[in-house]
Amino acid sequence: MRNRPLRPPFRLILIEDHKFLAEILAQRLSLDPNLKIMGIANDGAAALHLVKTQPVDIALLDIQLEHEDGLGVASRLWEVRPELRVIGLSRMDGDYHPGALLELGARGFLTKRSNTKDILDAIRRVANGDLAISPQIAVHLALSASQVSPTDLRHLLTQKELEVLTEIARGLSVKQIALKLNLTEKTIQTHRNSIRKKLNATTDVQLCLLAIRAGLVDIHQAAV
């Protein structure tokens, strides 16, 4: 679930079709000494040019660009720079974009109601290797992540699987969970595979959201 931490300054591009809004946000973010704004793109072609010509670590992407799908833009960016860490931005909390972008490989998703401090916090989390998702979006994803209810989840999983799921949701690696629970890494991997199968989940992001929904961890403890 975690990526390796980046060293500051974190090199960022903004992809936003409202030029004025993008310039204001870039100006505010640039006040942080740990950030370096590498450019602003108003469409997918300009964003692609930036990642081809500039050393970029993180892209802040408006997922609802006026003339193109942000999901397609993200996919093209990853073709050029697979290690790029993408944080999605959306005006909508409850549509399909957050889940779709995270499944593709994004490291964060924020509502456009987020203030500058929230955005900076998210950038720092993503740079540190964690996921960063607005609480409103995390709740929506948790509620739509599975047809399994919180009660059913607790009945489906063994006590040890619940413990493993909780630690996965907190962002621990297989090795870290094995050390904490005094089990082998192979055993932890077996538990994780069993949990995914029982809950019909394919990624640790989904597991994390299900753990939030079941009350195993709260938003502030979770790796989102």
Please choose, from the candidates 104, 100, 111, the residue with its C-alpha nearest in 3D space to the C-alpha of residue 60.
Answer: 111
- CA-CA distance, 180 to 156, in Å (whole number)? 23
Same domain, 136 and 162: no
150-171: pLDDT as tens digits: 677 778 899 999 999 999 888 8
Q: What region, left, alpha or beta, does residue 129 occupy, with left being phi > 0 and alpha being psi -120 to 50 degrees? A: left
Structure confidence at residue 173 (pLDDT):
85
Indicate if 35 and 130 belong to the same structural domain: yes
Q: Which of 142, 175, 200 is the last residue of a domain?
A: 142
| Section 124-145 average pLDDT | 79
SS3 85: strand
Type of residue found at 146: S
Average pLDDT over residues 33-60: 96
Same domain, 77 and 111: yes
* Domain range for 155: 146-213
